[in-house]
Structure 1
Amino acid sequence: MFELTGKKAVVTGGGSGIGKAISIVFARQGAEVHVIELSHEAAAQTLSEIEANGGKAYSHTCDVSKQSQVREVFKSIAQVDILVNNAGIAHVGNLENTSEEDLDRIYQVNVKGAYNCLQAAVASMKQHSGGAILNLASIASHVGIPDRFAYTMSKGAIHAMTMSVAKDYLGAHIRCNSISPARVHTPFVDGFIAKNYPGQEEEMFEKLSKTQPIGRMAKPEEVAALALYLCSDEASFITGCDYPIDGGFITLNN
């Protein structure tokens, strides 16, 4: 089950965290993985792990917010069977202390970056009998999260774009779904805690972990397992859906 042999998968932000875990599991299941990353060094680390396990992968240094760069990358790949829109950046702040520059920066990467990749992937998929798209949304697109105004805006857009693409391309046999994770233990989380709470790392990690009713953060590999299912042929009857993977955050935090 969940075999991806013969399929070409594009994973944006595949150099670390969730994107890296998705890239590794897709390659393990037989896909030819194309990692789109701003950091060549990060992509190289993912590729080395994939190749060490006998997988096939390529890296493409690209700023997803630049449409011309994205189009060139997708043109070089030619056929795209799977797209995982994972690349994104975070921001802490409410409406009043989110600057115009902050909002534009989040929009450019999280929203426009996803749009650029969606547009390029759909064009390819229409020429090759369809495909599967998975966008990384967030629990922030379902419930209010304190001090995440710009980030919530961007992930709400991801959720909405998922529904729109799913509806518009039913006839082209293109499925489009999204995943909404709660907190996932990635190097980004460790860096965020170290930067904002120096000397309180263990205390803050425990506090953030317990905001999930299940009592811990997710592992990137757990998100990757769900991504694998949704992009596999076993999920061929699923489109236009969002899947929270949140340790009960949305429904049990009461």
Structure 2
Amino acid sequence: MAADLFQLDGRKAVVVGGGSGLGRASAVALAEYGARVVVADVDAAGAEETAESIRQLGREAIRRELDVRESAQIRELAEAEPDADVLVVTPGINVRKRLVDTTDEEFDRVVDVNLKGTYRLVREFGARMAERGRGSIITFASFRAEVVEPGQGIYAATKAGVVQLSRALAAELGPRGVRVNAIAPGPFETPLTEQIKSDEAWYGAYARKTALQRWAKAEEIAGAVVYLASDASSYVTGSLQLVEGGWTAIDGRFDPGV
């Protein structure tokens, strides 16, 4: 049955950044579809809260503390979870400043988490999945990989880099049974967007730009994650899955009265 394609029973999913926001929503959704979940996050308390919420569903979950800026920690996690069938990489930070106002330190900080952190994770887990001949890697880019606004330059550059890393890895590991896809969320209600939500004009403009005329809740990422993790997407790799309410599909400048 087609519905069975989405089931993840017997599989292990490692969700990095699972302590809050889209990572937490992803971890819970994967558990609901049968996966055993490892919740990894630099925020140990947040990771444990997510893991406990999964256990309350009657599903199996453990938490691990992880800083994606530390290669040794990532290697240790990959060695501790060599049978991971799914890797979800969600961590991201932003510095909302015009490029001419940014510093080298700010650039390095965003790149280290968003781009290099993703690289470290897909390198370690991808190699092990390739050895086993199967696996699904899901990276989190952003609609900012496709369209930008003033003050989002460094973030946008890193997320575009995540897309290309994912495509390259898909090409390299496809022959060995590993699929790699990126998700590009749009305006979601998460801790990362608190600065925008605190500005009524900014917040409202984002809602109006989408075709659906609203922000998304974190739980609305679940369908894309489960789909890409499961056999329902068995012939999907190297893709960018937009989950942005139609933001990039429409012009948005004017609604003609026709």
Structure 1-normalised TM-score?
0.93
For residues 161-184 of structure 1, the C-alpha deviation after alignment (integer angstroms, 9 at most, x for no partner) is 011001011111110111111110
Query: Residue 222 of structure 1 aligns with which residue?
Result: 220
Inter-partner Cα distance in structure 2 for 1:32 and 1:187: 26
Tell me the secondary structure at the aligned position of residue 178 of structure 1: strand
Which aligned segments of 4 or more residues in structure 1 are displaced greater than 4 angstroms?
201-204
Query: Residue 12 of structure 1 aligns with which residue?
Result: 16
Per-residue deviation at 1:33?
A: 0.7
Q: Could you tell me the percent identity over the aligned residues? A: 31
Letter matched to residue 221 of structure 1: E
RMSD of the TM alignment (CA)?
A: 1.4
Q: Match for 1:146 among 146, 150, 157?
A: 150
- After superposition, where does 1:78-227 map in structure 2 within 5 Å? 78-189=82-193, 191-193=194-196, 197=198, 202=200, 204-227=202-225
Per-residue deviation at 1:208?
A: 2.9
Per-residue deviation at 1:93?
A: 1.4
Query: Residue 241 of structure 1 aligns with which residue?
Result: 239
Tell me the secondary structure at the aligned position of residue 154 of structure 2: helix
Per-residue deviation at 1:56?
A: 0.8
Query: Residue 71 of structure 1 aligns with which residue?
Result: 75
Per-residue deviation at 1:118?
A: 0.3
Q: Does 1:26 align with 2:24?
A: no
Q: Which runs of 5+ in 2 are unaligned?
A: 253-258
Tell me the secondary structure at the aligned position of residue 218 of structure 1: coil
Tell me the secondary structure at the aligned position of residue 214 of structure 1: coil
Inter-partner Cα distance in structure 2 for 1:139 and 1:193: 15
Letter matched to residue 208 of structure 1: Y
Q: Match for 1:38 among 35, 38, 42?
A: 42
Per-residue deviation at 1:188?
A: 3.5
Tell me the secondary structure at the aligned position of residue 210 of structure 1: helix
Residues 90-99 or 65-74, more deviating: 90-99
The number of residues matched between the two structures is 248
Q: Which runs of 5+ in 1 are unaligned?
A: none
Tell me the secondary structure at the aligned position of residue 221 of structure 1: helix
2:93 and 2:192 in contact (8 A); partners too: no
Inter-partner Cα distance in structure 1 for 2:122 and 2:192: 25
For residues 154-211 of structure 1, the C-alpha deviation after alignment (integer angstroms, 9 at most, x for no partner) is 101001101100101111111011111111012333x3247xx4xxx55543333223
Letter matched to residue 3 of structure 1: Q
1:98 and 1:149 in contact (8 A); partners too: no
Inter-partner Cα distance in structure 2 for 1:80 and 1:27: 14
Letter matched to residue 154 of structure 2: A
Structure 2-normalised TM-score?
0.92
